[in-house]
Amino acid sequence: MGYRKVTIEQLSVIWTQKKAGASNRAISIALNFDRKTINQYVKLILEQRIPVSTPYSEVQKLLANILVINKKTAPVIDKLKLYGTEIRALIVGDKSLNQQAMKAKTAWLVLKERHKISDISYESFKRFIRDENFCKSIATPTIRIESAPGDEIQIDYAKMGLWAVEGNNRIIHAFIGLLASSRFPFVRFCLSQDQESFAESNVLMLEFYGGSPRRINLDNLKSGVVKVNIYDPTINRTFAELCDHYSILVDPSRPASPKDKGKVERIVQIVREVWKRLTALHPTATLDELNILVQQWIVQEYGQHKHGTTEIEPFSSFEKVEKAYLKPLPKDRYVASSWTIAKVHPDQFITVKKKLYGVPAEYIGKTVQARIQSGFIEIFYDLKLIRSYTIPNKGRAYLKTDFPEYGEPFAIGSYASSLIMKAGNYGMLSAQLINLILESGGQLSIRRAQGCLCVIQKNIKNPFFNNALKIAIEEKTFIPDRLKKLFEKQSVQLELPLPVSDLGLSMARDANYYANP
């Protein structure tokens, strides 16, 4: 007899049909059982000798004995039951004993190693822990917070995978937005998560919806939140400008708390599957074409199916209800800009995105803010605009008036004079040497002066500091490496011991001899 699972109800049908005079063949067709199986069960039922007038409930009790007779033996499962308590402890874990919960595969390997078991397969082990409910997760209550129409948009990023863009494989990210009330989404595939791309994605999302919500709920990515704090987060300046332009409140979720924006988190897996589907059907599509296709999917497919929670089609809920609650967009479209901070180097330049921009000498050593927008860069210090440039294709951008000619007399505020002033902190000889180096002018003399000033700073405690500088001025030692060797030479002379004969040594006295006669 086979080991196909048979219920009490099916055995009752066999008994009823047989009592009515049906053939075994007719019963096998009606129940979709093999005729040999029906023959075996009919034989077992007849052996019970159940009277025709027996009540139905009593019949089921008698037929239950047949199920016990036909139960398949499972020696492997019986063997695993001997270790049931140990297996449960491995899988569930025990915090009191500082034992972490294991995955099923790890628990199986541990059990095999501990008890030298070789005749139990992993498939049998999985079947056992499923039957015993060892891996059954503990159900926890979930509180679903619903939002009023037009109140909130939740946004998130998700990595999709590689895609060929202009002949190169690039990692594609999906910017995902979701209206919390109607569950109507927005998806945009993009190449980056930087602040410009993030701002542009937000603008396109608001234009897709045709309005702005009261607040935006996001996680703590750097393009949105610069400094994470549960009470007072620091918002990225570009994103803050965007939200101010559209009158939106920035509402970051708590750190490491994805459930704070659970509605958009839920759709991430769906978007990943859509990406796989679109790229499989359109293997040569560009990123812009894929974005058009995903927006068609949003409106024509996802938006037309009833949502599991709201029981309403998202597109219908958006069009009929939530759209009217969104605030109208301003006439002027927000143009995405990016902000960064930079320290002014001694040569009066700042570095922003691998390009150099000059500022007046008075800002050397200070930190300034730079704003990049539409091919221009604006440099601010204490909210005051100090310089603005068109972004060059290569090289650097500066004003000649910020860089007076190096020479005598040195212009007040120039970089050359700042080097001389810094050298003056180590004495007149230091300032004199740096002055001599700078007299020839040009960038080479600047670099030499910078290097020599570093050597001077490191040797300020050298006992022969001034003597070495006098020699450097006389010999015109303007190369940093030569100046360094000059200081080392003076230090070696200091360390040479004075030659003393044995007779002279015998006449030597300790200082205490003269202090206490």
pTM of the model: 0.58
Is 449 exposed, middle or buried (CB count within 10 Å of its CB: 0-12, 13-18, 19+)?
Answer: buried
CA 222, 226, 228, 233 dihedral sign is negative
User: 93 vs 100, 127, 138, CA distance in Å?
Assistant: 5, 20, 13
CA 22, 23, 24, 27 dihedral sign is negative
Of residues 201 and 77, more confidently modeled: 201
Partners of 94 in beta bridges: 99
Phi-psi region of 328 (alpha: psi -120 to 50; beta: other; left: phi over 0): beta
Of 84-88, 132-136, 178-182, 361-365, least confident by mean pLDDT is 132-136
Is 10 exposed, middle or buried (CB count within 10 Å of its CB: 0-12, 13-18, 19+)?
Answer: middle
- Catalogue all structural domains in the chain, each as residue range(s) with its CATH number: 8-69 (no CATH), 75-131 (no CATH), 152-325 (3.30.420.10), 338-402 (no CATH), 415-495 (no CATH)
If one counts every other C-beta atom within 10 angstroms of the C-beta of residue 390, the result is: 9
DSSP codes, 302-350: GGGSPPTTT-S-HHHHHHHTGGGGSBPPPSSPPPP-EEEEEEPPTTSEE
Residues 367, 343 contacting (CB under 8 angstroms): yes
pLDDT in tens, 176-202: 999 999 999 999 999 999 988 999 999
Edge-to-edge strands, sheet with 338-343: 338-343, 367-373, 376-381, 384-390
Cα–Cα distance for residue pair 423/449, rounded to 1 Å: 10
Is 499 exposed, middle or buried (CB count within 10 Å of its CB: 0-12, 13-18, 19+)?
Answer: exposed
Q: Does residue 84 register a pLDDT over 90?
A: no
Query: Which pLDDT score, from 0 to 100, does residue 141 have?
Result: 67
Cα–Cα distance for residue pair 94/98, rounded to 1 Å: 6
Q: Give the DSSP letter of residue 212.
A: B
Residues 68, 11 contacting (CB under 8 angstroms): no
Query: Which pLDDT score, from 0 to 100, does residue 447 have?
Result: 81
Query: Which pLDDT score, from 0 to 100, does residue 97 have?
Result: 67
Partners of 384 in beta bridges: 381
pLDDT in tens, 470-507: 999 999 888 999 999 898 887 665 544 556 666 766 67
Of residues 132 and 299, more confidently modeled: 299
pLDDT in tens, 393-415: 887 898 888 876 543 444 555 67
Cis ω for the linkage preceding 149 (within 30 of 0): no
Averaged pLDDT, 91-98: 74
Strands 338-343 and 225-227, by their bridges, are unpaired
Query: Which pLDDT score, from 0 to 100, does residue 242 have?
Result: 93
Of residues 517 and 188, more confidently modeled: 188
Of residues 384 and 406, more confidently modeled: 384
Q: Does residue 162 register a pLDDT over 60?
A: yes
What's at 239, amino acid-wise? F
Averaged pLDDT, 102-126: 86
Query: Which pLDDT score, from 0 to 100, does residue 188 have?
Result: 96
